């Protein structure tokens, strides 16, 4: 995948996809309809990013460790929607040379869903274009704790590189986008986002478009990223 020479590139974009439920309620629909609409936007944004010369990784916050607190029926619907999405979109991943790499602790999911996640991961492993990561049963605190436990028993000093390599996601984030109007990270990629640029938009996720994403990336490219220096 050829990359451009732009010095300020959004190599790794991470998105907190917020506002599905509110979008549905504003339209007089059940919350699940918002999740269905949001899944279509995931496809559109992923396809768009796969055609970019700059973007190497797209990480989407799909289901957090805290989302289990939602009503049981909504959680069950989200699990079914996720499985359907993955089965339906395998062909899209392959057609766009997208490698699927989930992050998070998927052991909490049903055996059927775990099998589907692994199948899509395996069948796209050869793709060398965009990497799409869905954060599934993901929380940054949980990720860091699991990474720390992997390093138990090591007798020397644990380095930043060692901890980073033990995380689910080893790549630093360049640009975090949150839709839906709230301005917080909600336990998402806290280690990886140490020097990420943050963009917040009031647009609800089902209304988020590739045009909106292009506008944010354009603004991102104008920023002077100093990483603590001058």
Catalytic positions, written as ranges: 18, 67
Instruction: Quote the Cα angle for 141-12-198, to 5°.
Output: 70
> Measured between alpha carbons, how far is 41 from 210 in angstroms, rounded to an integer?
9
Question: What pairs with residue 12 in β-bridges?
Answer: 57
Q: How far is 8 from 15, CA to CA, in rounded Å?
A: 19
Spatial separation of the C-alpha atoms in residues 92 and 130, rounded to whole Å: 12
């Amino acid at each position: 995948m050829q990359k451009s020479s732009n010095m300020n590139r959004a190599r790794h974009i991470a998105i907190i996809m917020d506002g599905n439920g509110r979008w549905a309620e504003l339209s007089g629909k059940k919350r699940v309809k918002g999740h269905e609409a949001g899944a279509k936007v995931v496809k559109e944004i992923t396809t768009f990013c796969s055609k970019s010369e700059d973007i190497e990784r797209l990480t989407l916050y799909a289901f957090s460790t805290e989302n289990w607190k939602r009503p049981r029926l909504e959680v069950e619907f989200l699990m079914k929607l996720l499985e359907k999405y993955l089965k339906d979109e395998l062909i899209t991943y392959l057609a766009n040379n997208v490698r699927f790499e989930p992050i998070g602790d998927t052991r909490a999911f049903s055996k059927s869903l775990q099998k589907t996640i692994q199948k899509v991961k395996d069948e796209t492993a050869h793709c060398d274009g965009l990497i799409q990561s869905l954060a599934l049963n993901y929380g940054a605190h949980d990720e860091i704790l699991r990474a720390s436990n992997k390093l138990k028993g090591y007798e020397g000093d644990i380095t930043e590189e060692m901890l980073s390599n033990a995380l689910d996601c080893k790549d630093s984030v360049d640009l975090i986008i949150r839709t839906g109007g709230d301005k917080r990270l909600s336990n998402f990629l806290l280690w990886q986002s140490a020097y990420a640029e943050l963009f917040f938009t009031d647009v609800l996720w089902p209304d988020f478009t590739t045009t909106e994403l292009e506008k944010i990336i354009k603004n991102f490219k104008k920023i002077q990223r100093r990483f603590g220096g001058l």
